[in-house]
């Protein structure tokens, strides 16, 4: 879901940079010193998961893991995802430097929204927690795809068809992402439940 250089208009790019700066500032303020290692590991997982691309039509899809990042970090998802996106832009030319703000909003804002929506439910009994984790992973991808579409449409109204294709291409990823998030949550509840606090 990376938007490349030269696609978006200047107002969209500036808005993305401003919102990312605000989200990152809030995330850094809320990130406890004790959780920096956890944020680094989740940033690395986010970075690695997006390296495997599967072409679908005019777009590529890949695992995102922003749902699990949001569940475990909350607002600290902003700096964690920003670091991963900077490395992807510099090392592999995924996205770009000018689109870094918009790309961060596309990935981190759904993570934060889903952490508030589904975070309290992951501490319930297993069936409810697994459904909440699945919904968190799925909805984070869906919201990210919708934000890609909105960024494109605010740039040029003719991008509506492309936006619809991007959202449709990520429907299979939503299901896979939900399953991966639920499995990660089940594993963490068994092995290290203190990470979910």
How is the chain split into domains, by residue range?
A: 10-196
pLDDT of residue 47: 87
Asked if 188 contacts 41 with a C-beta cutoff of 8 angstroms, the reply is no
Q: Find residue 190's DSSP bridge partners.
A: none
Asked: is 10-196 a CATH 1.10.1760.20 domain? The reply is yes
Q: How far is CA 57 from the centre of its chain?
A: 22
Q: Tell me the C-alpha distance between 64 and 127, whole Å.
A: 24
pTM summary value? 0.89
Residue-level pLDDT, tens digit, the chain, 197 residues: 678 788 888 999 999 999 999 999 999 999 988 889 989 999 998 888 877 776 665 556 678 889 999 999 999 999 999 999 999 889 888 778 899 999 999 999 999 999 999 999 988 888 899 999 999 999 999 999 889 888 888 888 777 777 787 778 778 889 989 999 999 999 988 888 887 77
């Amino acid at each position: 879901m990376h938007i490349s250089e030269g696609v978006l208009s200047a107002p969209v790019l500036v808005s993305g940079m401003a919102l990312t700066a605000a989200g990152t500032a809030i995330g850094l303020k809320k990130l406890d010193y004790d959780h920096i290692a956890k944020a680094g590991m989740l940033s690395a997982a986010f970075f690695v998961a997006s390296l495997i691309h599967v072409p679908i039509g005019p777009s590529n899809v890949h695992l995102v893991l922003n749902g699990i990042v949001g569940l475990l970090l909350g607002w600290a998802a902003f700096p964690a995802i920003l670091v991963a996106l900077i490395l992807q832009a510099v090392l592999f030319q995924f996205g770009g430097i000018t689109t870094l703000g918009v790309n961060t909003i596309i990935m981190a804002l759904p993570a934060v929204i889903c952490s508030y929506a589904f975070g309290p439910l992951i501490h319930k009994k297993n069936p409810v927690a697994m459904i909440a984790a699945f919904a968190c992973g799925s909805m984070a991808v869906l919201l990210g795809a919708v934000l890609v579409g909105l960024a494109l449409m605010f740039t040029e109204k003719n991008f509506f068809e492309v936006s619809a294709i991007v959202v449709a291409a990520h429907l299979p990823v939503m299901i896979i992402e939900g399953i991966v998030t639920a499995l990660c949550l089940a594993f963490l509840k068994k092995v290290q439940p203190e990470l979910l606090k």
